[in-house]
Amino acid sequence: MKVVIIGGVAGGATAAARLRRLDEQAEIVVFERSGYVSYANCGLPYYIGGVIEDPEALTLQTPESFFARFRVDMRVRHEVTAIHPEHKAVSVTNLETGEEFEERYDKLLLSPGAKPIQPRLPGAGLEKVFTLRTVEDTFRIKEYIQTHQPRSAVLAGGGFIGLELAENLRELGMEVTIVQRPRQLMNPFDPDMAAFIHSEVRRHGINLVLGRTVEGFEEKAGGLDVLLKDEAPLHADMVVLAIGVTPDTALAREAGLELGLKGGIAVNDRMETSSPDIYAVGDAVQVKHYVTGQDAVISLAGPANRQGRIAADNICGGDSRYPGSQGSSVIKVFDLTAAATGVSETNAKKAGLDVDAVILSPMSHAGYYPGGRVMTMKVVFERGTCRLLGAQIVGYAGVDKRIDVLATAIHAGLTALQLKELDLAYAPPYSSAKDPVNMAGFMAENLANGLVKQWRIEDLPSLPRDGSVTLLDVRTPQEYGGGHIEGFRLIPVDELRERLGELERGKPVYVICQSGLRSYIACRILAGHGFDAYNFAGGFRYYGAVTNDRRLIEQATACGMDK
């Protein structure tokens, strides 16, 4: 059996290694357009910033090392220019010599990945405008910075690559501005959770220009003007386009393979395309979202690796199945860690799901043990069934541990209520006896059982201010004095029982505290005395972060720059 693989990196290289482990006699040929067959794509921004110092550390395998271990014929700088399913061959061009030839196959695996979105904007091809996707892109940016010592950069796009690159350029001492059309960074997060990311980015001196449309680039004063729609231009010494990626599927389209969402290659759960004996994996394929069951294109290394293994199994006669992509991800943002899995509340609603969420601010480990840090968690679930749909966490310690637990729970089909039953490891330096994941389960159970009712930040504008409801803040006088929501009166929770006579019976009571815990206790006290009480989801700390972010974005919209 002869297997030809188009593209290396995550999916193709994984499939090649798996194929060899399953079939010692198979002939395996990999064609990779770039000069690197397997590299750490996610590490590229950290090489630019100098965190990763050795460029060879980015290269996970070389053609020589791959051949030595797996006897796989890895041909870099070879571009496949056409696929011929009718006679099972591909046309190839050797980019070093210009030689053109055909290579026949018994089985073909497509792993072309994705390519940066490059809008057709005036000036997009200028020397100081870069994209970052390959090792070669990385070396070009690194060399430009070392040679020209730019003092400022504008990044168009605030996804994973854009945010990681912004951090690394800032650490090099550059003035960095992120500009993009959406009004938030990091689309996997809901806007309220993205507010914490925005705060950390701003805290480290990065300018955010959100809700703006880039219309082109012009060379000016030794640098570039970034032209914005209906706004004054931004000036910088260099620009990096990090608007996102799109499946690189021109070959598949020209070969007549069925395409789907965003032009991704349509595959079944065995990673088979619409053409016999042709498989496809990685960033170029359309898959099912594990939570919603809807079509999705998810560009992450983990799914690409798993898909490569599954395709190899099936090429060798097995029956492996890909259950869908869940979208679990994590990112370092200066000192902050932000992680997500499943679907956000925003996207769950777009998918037609009836959803609810709990928002909590637990400590990363036992509060009495030194060094604990507050994290903010949002766990999204389906009303009625309490099926877990997604989770987002931002914080400074313990975030990755909790998101992986929640990702596993979603994959296992647990409900939000079952989170309280998880037997998770505890020691004071690592967690609390009631882990934050358990706490999310307790809160979901209280909601499901009607033990507590909650109100959300989006309900605030519609809360009556005519005296028909009671607005109650149960923090300490010091906390209240440091900031509170207008119209909310103060009764500290520890004084509430003695001061119930100050509250008018028959009126709903909307309660807030710093994190949501004291207000929950207050709600239970009030309910026990016949009041109809509602607990604010997230607490005043969360409210302050979200409203401050919204204020800064609105100010930036008004004055043309977010500082």
Q: Which are the catalytic amino acids?
A: 42
Calpha distance 374→122 (Å, rounded): 45
Cα distance between residue 320 and residue 307, in whole Å: 10
Q: Pairing relation of β-strands 375-382 and 388-395?
A: antiparallel
Neighbours of 313 (CB within 10 A): 19
Q: Are 23 and 1 in contact (CB under 8 A)?
A: yes
277 Rama sector, left if φ>0, alpha if ψ -120 to 50, beta otherwise = left
Angle at 240 (CA atoms; ends 234, 241), nearest 5 degrees: 100
Enumerate residues 6+ apart whose C-beta is below 8 A from 509: 469, 470, 472, 503, 523, 526, 531, 532, 533, 534
| Amino acid at residue number 395 | G
Question: Measured between alpha carbons, how far is 170 from 164 in angstroms, rounded to an integer?
Answer: 10
370, 168 Cβ separation under 8 angstroms: no
With a CB cutoff of 8 Å and minimum separation 6, the contacts of 435 are 402, 422, 424, 426
Please name which of 493, 499, 500 lies closest in space to residue 475, comparing C-alpha atoms.
Answer: 493
Q: How far from chain centre, in Å, is Cα 466?
A: 42
How many angstroms separate the CA atoms of 447 and 433, rounded? 22
Alpha-carbon distance of 250 to 253, in angstroms, equals: 5
Torsion angle, alpha carbons of 355, 360, 363, 365, to 10: -30
122 with 217: CB under 8 angstroms?
yes
* Helix 191-203, helix 160-171: angle, nearest 10: 20
E strand or H helix that includes residue 92? strand 89-94
Cross-strand pairs, 296: 287
Cα of 21 vs its chain's centroid, Å:
33
3-state helix, strand, coil in the chain (%, to 5): 35, 30, 40
With tokens 């910088």, the residue in question is 236
Question: For residue 399, what are the contacts with CB-CB under 8 A and spacing of at least 6?
Answer: 330, 337, 338, 339, 364, 375, 393
Separation CA 511–CA 522 (nearest Å): 8
